[in-house]
Amino acid sequence: MERASKELMMNIVVISILLSVVYGFLFIYLDKLLNPDTYYMSSPGDFVLFTLTFLVVYPAHIVMSLLSFMAARFAGNNVTTRLIAFNGMGFVLIGVLYYALREPLVLLILFSLLVFSAAAAFHARRTS
């Protein structure tokens, strides 16, 4: 399972941080697009909005990384079973978040499932 541990560290340290930064900049762009005349929302150079978005989304990405690790331990070397298990757990997680928050922006996290699935498939293909 050393391979799964390496992938977990790669997901937490690199992919989760990059995705969270992308979401932070995306939310800044959406704030500018939807509220062009309201400067009170994030007056200090959008830093507050970026930081808030990063601090909310990064733990969700860590949970997704742990779900991917659990799916890897469950499925072993079978990539198809692993991706089905991971995406199933991810859809349930996003569904619960959407149900609890009633916020359509939560559905943007579906893009993260795609990125984590692609990374898992690439990593499995590279190591086999």
pLDDT score, position 38: 67
- The confidence score (pLDDT) of residue 81 equals 92
- What pLDDT score was predicted for residue 22? 96
pLDDT in tens, 16-34: 999 999 999 998 888 888 8
User: What is this structure's pTM?
Assistant: 0.85
pLDDT confidence of residue 34 = 82
Domain boundaries, the chain: 2-127
Per-residue confidence (pLDDT) for residue 99, from 0 to 100: 93
DSSP 37: T
Cβ–Cβ under 8 Å, residues 68 and 8:
yes
pLDDT beneath 70: ranges in the chain: 1, 38-43, 45, 128
Q: In this predicted structure, what is the pLDDT of residue 45?
A: 66
